[in-house]
Structure 1
């Protein structure tokens, strides 16, 4: 199998620590190129990918005929434009979430994807992890009976880093855009449903950026609450509560970084089953699934249409929060 040669637009810290190594380790993939004008930042990638080609501009990387696919870890406000440029350059693109800032952005991306006939996707890595594939199967097969309520939490504290792009309005920062997509998308992926309304949205701002968001939503068959914050002690969990059981994911988002990925199913009679995935790298699985789709071997698990649905929920939450 000829490896897919990946190029990365920008030497982001996340790309250096996680996605770059994941591409390098993924089956059927090669971390071939990086676009950065900083030799010091490029050296951090060369440490694990010796011989990596370094371009001094994003345009130069997109013009490189040896690059088969592009990964974009740029700040949020740059995602749409550079994804469109990558598609126009004939490159399939995997872009960090949120790939767009409103549902209309995804309409533009979908149209450009279809016109180019190329794969374009948001890097929503959790749906590639076996814990979420297993959770979806259990819930949709009725393991917890009728799903009644979903609860999700994702928090961390970056108050000490005011220059971080997540704390800046001009880079489209904020807790909802950074981590709200996870409980929102997880609820949608596992249940297979979309929200019909937002019944409550408490958004607390600092410097015009939401640093705390508590959102309650109604889906066709269940209710959902989500709490995300950039000003609280780190915590993450997802709970799916039915009339005959409870399914818990104790490390749903940063598997094997925050903690070990673990699923616990509790049913009538106090029966409890626990499953763990100690060695799974969801970022590498994401790269491998992208490659499989490029080769025509499988449909991509997280198409732009799914990502647009999560953005619709995000737009609803922002609108409800603005009315408070």
Structure 2
């Protein structure tokens, strides 16, 4: 079976702890190399995760002809520059969300990507690959809960570490960019259109100058989506979807426990059912979907056009 050989740009925590181990469980790809600006760090991570190759620079990895694609978990301000360098090096790209610092930068990436039509590039919104989310989309789009009217979502954690890039404004930190983007993405996914108006209320950390509490109101034709994200709040996650005939509720919709059965509460015409989904790692499913898009020359899981639309909403909330 042909596999896509993936190189990882950086030893970022999300990659080392979550994404790389999940990729290594996929059938259609393999993690061939990992790069760091510190060769010893790259070698130590490669040894720990049984990755064949380690590189002391991102450029060295991109120069390796035995790497087909790259996964980019770098800080937000580096997403577009290194996505462009990866495309120029002939690599396919799976880049962490958000795709860029703003919509304008994302449009620059789209423009460059058109010069490299033979390479795929996708934003890593892994949640969309989970069967629980695919079922939610199916229920909404089929009209099972009636006409979609409202979405409520919440995502929070506590992080006041000044050394963490999520608390650096220059590096694209803040809750809206890190986790609020999920609520925006799912709202556009379920309504299957773009909001006609966007309103945001943001509270900024006085030291970091990043948003630590952000609430958004997105008005769509026919309904609304409201959400809150926070980076200095007790951790929690939920999504509630309301239609004219029923509702859907999901706990821990973005970072579920991959070892446990996941539940979806569905109420239709006052009749409640609990749908259960076998344990699965959506990072593995994301890797499979991305690799399949390359091997079969099919559309990527999340297009740059879709990513730009998500960034436009983030920009509007910050205005």
2:18 corresponding residue in structure 1: 18
For the 8 Å contact 1:24–1:49, the answer to whether it is kept is no
1:123 corresponding residue in structure 2: 124
Map 1:1-324 → 2, pairs under 5 A: 1-36=1-36, 37-40=38-41, 42-50=43-51, 52-117=52-117, 118-159=119-160, 161-198=161-198, 200-206=199-205, 207-256=208-257, 261-268=262-269, 270-296=270-296, 298-319=298-319
What is the SS of the residue equivalent to 2:170? helix
TM-score (normalizing by structure 1): 0.93
Moved more, 163-172 or 173-182: 163-172
What is the SS of the residue equivalent to 1:216? strand
Displacement of 1:107: 1.4
Please give the alpha-carbon distance, in whole angstroms, between the structure 1 residues aligned to 2:274 and 2:145: 14
Displacement of 1:297: 5.6
What is the SS of the residue equivalent to 2:139? helix
What is the SS of the residue equivalent to 2:66? coil
Displacement of 1:255: 2.1
Please give the alpha-carbon distance, in whole angstroms, between the structure 2 residues aligned to 1:184 and 1:287: 22
For the 8 Å contact 1:31–1:49, the answer to whether it is kept is no
For the 8 Å contact 1:26–1:285, the answer to whether it is kept is yes
For the 8 Å contact 1:16–1:45, the answer to whether it is kept is no
Change in Cα spacing, 1:169 to 1:122, as seen in structure 2 (3 Å) is: same
Displacement of 1:260: 5.3
Q: Deviations over 1:266-306 (max 9, x none)?
A: 121x3112122241111111111111110126432211111
Please give the alpha-carbon distance, in whole angstroms, between the structure 1 residues aligned to 2:165 and 2:238: 25
For the 8 Å contact 1:93–1:119, the answer to whether it is kept is yes
Displacement of 1:38: 4.3
For the 8 Å contact 1:252–1:261, the answer to whether it is kept is no
TM-score (normalizing by structure 2): 0.95
Please give the alpha-carbon distance, in whole angstroms, between the structure 2 residues aligned to 1:232 and 1:258: 26
Q: Deviations over 1:8-60 (max 9, x none)?
A: 0111111100111112111121110111114245323422325x201110001
Q: Deviations over 1:238-271 (max 9, x none)?
A: 1111111011111210122697532111121x31
Please give the alpha-carbon distance, in whole angstroms, between the structure 2 residues aligned to 1:260 and 1:77: 36
Q: Deviations over 1:152-198 (max 9, x none)?
A: 10001112x22111011121100000001111101111221211112
Please give the alpha-carbon distance, in whole angstroms, between the structure 2 residues aligned to 1:45 and 1:21: 12
Please give the alpha-carbon distance, in whole angstroms, between the structure 1 residues aligned to 2:314 and 2:302: 17
Please give the alpha-carbon distance, in whole angstroms, between the structure 2 residues aligned to 1:263 and 1:101: 33
Structure 1 alignment gaps of length 5 or more: 320-324
Please give the alpha-carbon distance, in whole angstroms, between the structure 1 residues aligned to 2:140 and 2:31: 37
Moved more, 103-112 or 58-67: 103-112
For the 8 Å contact 2:11–2:34, the answer to whether it is kept is yes
Q: CA RMSD in A?
A: 1.6
For the 8 Å contact 2:121–2:300, the answer to whether it is kept is no
Please give the alpha-carbon distance, in whole angstroms, between the structure 2 residues aligned to 1:54 and 1:100: 26
Displacement of 1:112: 1.9
What is the SS of the residue equivalent to 1:262? strand
